[in-house]
Amino acid sequence: MKQQRLKSLNVPLLMTPGPTQVRENVRRVRAAEMTNPDLEPEFFKFYRKTCLKLASFLNTKSQVLILSGEGMVALDSACASLTEAGDRVLILDNGIFGEGFADMVQVYGAEPVVFKGERTRGLSAEDLRAFLEQDSDFKFATIVHCDTPSGVLNDLKEICPLLKSYGILTVVDAVSSMVSEPLFIDDWGIDICMGASQKGFSAPPGLAFVSVSNEAWTAIENRKTPVPSYYCNLPLWKNYYEELWFPYTPPIGDIYAFRAALDNILKEGGAFKRHRKIAKAVRKAVIRSGLSLYLVSDYCGSVTAIRVPEGLNGEEIVQKMKEEYGVLIGGNFGYLKGNVIRIGHMGENAREKYVSETLKALQLTLESLSISFFADMESVFLKETGKKKR
C-alpha cells in the first residue's frame, strides 16, 4: 500500500548514498517562521550552540563552522584557505573522491603528489610509512574517510597520526561517514574535518561543516598571500561570534532543520551500531544470494557497493528499479559507472524496513533481467538483523 502511494506521488523510496531521507520532524522545523539571521543576536547564539553540539558529537575542541552550500563548499574552503601557490600537497587516493582532491588543490596553485592505494580496500598505513620515509615535505595531506562510490573506509586512526608525525596537516573528507562511523577528530589528529547535511545527518542538502584545529588556523594565518576566495575563505568566519557578523547570510531554515536532525541523532545515541548492524546484514544478503561486493575489505557502515552481474548495466538497473518498484538506489560514476551499484544505508535510510524493501526490489529487478539467486536477500537480511519477514 505504502509503496503504491509513494509511486503515485512519484516520490521514490530514497536509498541513495546521499541525499538521504529526511524525517518529518526535520522537514517541519524547516518550515518554521524565520527572523533575519544577520541581525538577530539570538540566532548567533543558536548557530554557535549548534556548532558546539556538532563539535562535541565529533569529539573535538576545534572550532566547527556550518557553511552554506553542500559538501563541496567544505572541501573547497579547506583547499582555498590552506593552499598557497607552489605548496606540495599529498593526495591519498584510493577512490574517486580521493583522486578528485588533486584537481581541487591545483586550482589554488599547489603541486599535488599522489599516493595511490588499491581501489578495493583501505589504504595501507605500512605502505604510506614507506612512502613518507622517502618524501614527507608536504604542507598538508587530503584523505577521504569513506570514498562513497566504492564505500571503502580508510583507517584514520592509523593514517592521521602517521602523517602528523611527519609534521603534515591532515584534511579529512568525512562527508559520507559522519554519523555512520565513529569520528574522534582530536584523538586521531585531524586538522580539518569536513561533512555535509544531506548524508548521514539526514537533513536536507545545503549545508557543509568544517572543523579547524588551532594548528590549521595557525597555518592559514601565516599565509604569505591572502586566501584567493571570498565565499570559501575560512578566516572570515573565525570571530563571527565576537563580532556578531557572518560573511554572508546563513540559510536559517536549513540550519534549524539541521539542528533538529542532529538532535534526533543525539537523542537516539548508538547510530554507529545501527549502521554497522544494517551494513553487515546487507553484505551477508548480497553474498548469500550469489551477487558480489565490490570491496574485499574495509567496508563503511554507510553504503554497500555491489558488482553488476555480467552483461547488465548498472544505470539501467537503477532506472528499472525506480520505475517498477519505486525504490531509488545509487548508480555510480567515473570508472565504476555501469559496473557497480550502491545501496545507501546511511542516516534515516538505515532502517530495517527500508533496507529490506530495497533488497526485495533489487532482487525482483534482477530476476526480471534473468539473473538467478541462491537465496532470498530480504529473508537473509531480516534473519541477520533479528527480524522476521513480514
Ligand X SMILES: *Cc1c(COP(=O)(O)O)cnc(C)c1O
Select from 12, 37, 69, 71 the one that contacts ligand X (CB under 6 A).
Answer: 71
70 binds ligand X (CB under 6 A): yes
Burial class (CB in 10 A: 0-12, 13-18, 19+), 249: exposed
As beta bridge partners, residue 152 has: 147, 299
Q: How many CB atoms lie within 10 A of CB 125?
A: 17
C-alpha cell at 390: 513480514
With respect to ligand X, which residue has the nearer C-beta, 92 or 366? 92
- For ligand X, the binding residue among 144, 279, 336, 371 (CB under 6 A) is 144
Q: Which of residues 288-327 bind ligand X (CB under 6 A)?
A: none
Residue 295 Cβ, how far from ligand X at the closest point, in Å? 15
Cell 557497480 locates to 340
Residue 177 CB, nearest distance to ligand X (Å)? 8
- The pattern of x and - marking residues 156 through 195 that bind ligand X according to CB under 6 A reads -----------------x-xx-------------------
Distance CA 89, CA 219 (A): 14
Choosing from 60, 148, 213, 304, the residue that interacts with ligand X (CB under 6 A) is 148
Distance CA 192, CA 214 (A): 10
* Binding span for ligand X by CB under 6 A among 46-54, 69-77, 178-186, 345-353: 69-77
Residue 209 binding ligand X, by CB under 6 A = no
**Which of 97, 138, 240, 381 touches ligand X by CB under 6 A?**
97
In residues, how long is the chain?
390
Indicate whether 196 belongs to the interface with ligand X (CB under 6 A).
yes
**Residue matched to cell numbers 579529512:** 172
Where do contacts with ligand X occur on this chain (CB under 6 A)? 18, 70-72, 97, 144, 148, 173, 175-176, 196, 199
